[in-house]
Amino acid sequence: GINAEYGQVSSAAVLAPLFGDTYHRAKAADSKEEFIKSKEAATAAASWGSSIVGSAIQTYGVAALINSTGTLSYKGAAYLGSLIFFATYSPSLVSALVVENRPIDTVAVGVLSRVFETVGLSVFLTYWGTRTNPFD
């Protein structure tokens, strides 16, 4: 639905370079048939499919949390999204900065992407509305 599409749109800024490079390699291939049979096409299709499934599961989980906590305001949704962000991304953030010594700009892009996926999704679902009873 529209909620899973939000996850796709918010992650497009991070995934676009990956698919953009694959697209350019596809155009450079001798024929469309060769690219479709290639490992790159299979990898791109698998990544895209698992990303859609992951977004749908994340959206369902966030909507369930919004419903179960009775969150009605944007402020409450932002707090809930922040809690989800810190619970899910903090270990990766510490690892990227301390253990892997990644450049700060690379880490910042990842943080921004995850903030859109968590806080943004919570606020968007509060705006869009979630069903509290699937039989309504």
CA dist., res. 34 & res. 68, Å (int): 50
Residue 82 has pLDDT above 90, yes or no: yes
pLDDT digit string (tens) for 91-124? Answer: 888 888 888 888 888 888 888 888 888 898 899 9
**Residues 94, 112: Cα–Cα separation, whole Å:** 15
Angle at 110 between CA 83 and CA 120, to 5 degrees: 45
pTM, to two decimals:
0.60
